[in-house]
Amino acid sequence: MQRVGLKLGATCCAAFALLAGAALAGGSKVEFENLILTANGGFQPRTLPRQRYAPIDFKGHVDIDAKDGGRPLALQQAVIEFDHDGRLSTAGLATCPAERVADLGRAEARRVCRGAIVGSGELGFDVSFGSTLVPARAGLTIFNAPPVDGHPAILLHARTTTPAVQTYAILAPIERQRGQYRYRVTIDVPPIFGGNGSLTHINATVGRRYSAGGKRRSYVSARCSDNLLRTRGFFLFEGGLIIEGSVEKFCRQQ
């Protein structure tokens, strides 16, 4: 089930809701002008306590394409919000500063900051060289980062090797807020390949079990108080286009 809305002003804003249901098995998508965005997410295990929190692994992916087969609009910022029934724990977990891995490849960065790894995934890009469009891929590692202005943070690290070596170390704060969504992560995407590239694919799995203070802990946990866990995203593209959407997934109460 999908609802699509569109509002035009000084900038363009396309809004859509991706609701739980069979259609989400392969992801739902929104199309606006030349842009196609497909998104989905989920978590494991799906059976959770009603009141207490239990460890989970969160997964999500986004695909960005151009209808005409060219390079899609460049993503400039992604803001992701997570359900109030989710919980983040960083107590006693190692941190990885951006400067420690900013010049390192994936294997070395993971070795240097092994104790701070909280997730992994893959990024895809389209890069323009004149009239030629070259695809590129890079492994993604997500580290627990030092706090930013008192907020916990993550560090997203990736390095491409073709068509050129590029290393990205992006710091993203995680703000706690009131209401239906407890956490808000803001990711500012730097220019890709000097402005000649666009993100086309993002997938990530986040989850880490660790021990601290004599206790077993989980980086992300959740409960199932109302049989739904929600994620909402805001995606800002060059030219002022904003795509806003949410995904709701059913959970079962223990």
Q: What are phi and psi of 51, to 5 degrees?
A: -115, -45
Please state the rounded mean pLDDT for residues 222-230.
96
pLDDT at 123: 97
pTM higher than 0.85 for the full model? yes
Name the average pLDDT for the chain. 89
Of the pLDDT bands very low, low, confident and very high (cuts 50, 70, 90), residue 24 is: very low
User: Domain of 117?
Assistant: 2-210+219-253
Please state the rounded mean pLDDT for residues 30-45.
92
Of how many residues is the chain composed? 254
pLDDT at 162: 86
pLDDT tens for each residue of 203-220: 999 999 999 999 999 999
pLDDT at 149: 94
Is the pLDDT at 54 greater than 80? The verdict is: yes
Q: How many domains does the chain have?
A: 1
24-28, 60-64, 129-133: range with lowest mean pLDDT: 24-28
Of the pLDDT bands very low, low, confident and very high (cuts 50, 70, 90), residue 23 is: very low
Is the pLDDT at 243 greater than 60? The verdict is: yes
- Residue 200: CATH number of its domain: 2.60.40.1510
Is the pLDDT at 146 greater than 90? The verdict is: yes
Please state the rounded mean pLDDT for residues 96-118.
97
pLDDT tens for each residue of 174-200: 999 999 999 999 999 999 999 999 999
Please state the rounded mean pLDDT for residues 53-62.
96
pLDDT at 215: 94
Chain mean position to CA 19: 18
pLDDT at 203: 96
Helical (H) or strand (E) element with 146: strand 132-148
State both tokens at 130. 């004149």
pLDDT at 12: 39
Is the pLDDT at 4 greater than 50? The verdict is: no
* Contacts of 214 by beta carbon, 8 Å cutoff, 6+ apart: none
Please state the rounded mean pLDDT for residues 79-86.
96
Is the pLDDT at 253 greater than 90? The verdict is: yes
First to last CA, the chain: 27
How far from 7 is each of 1, 4, 88, 126, CA to CA, in Å? 21, 10, 34, 28
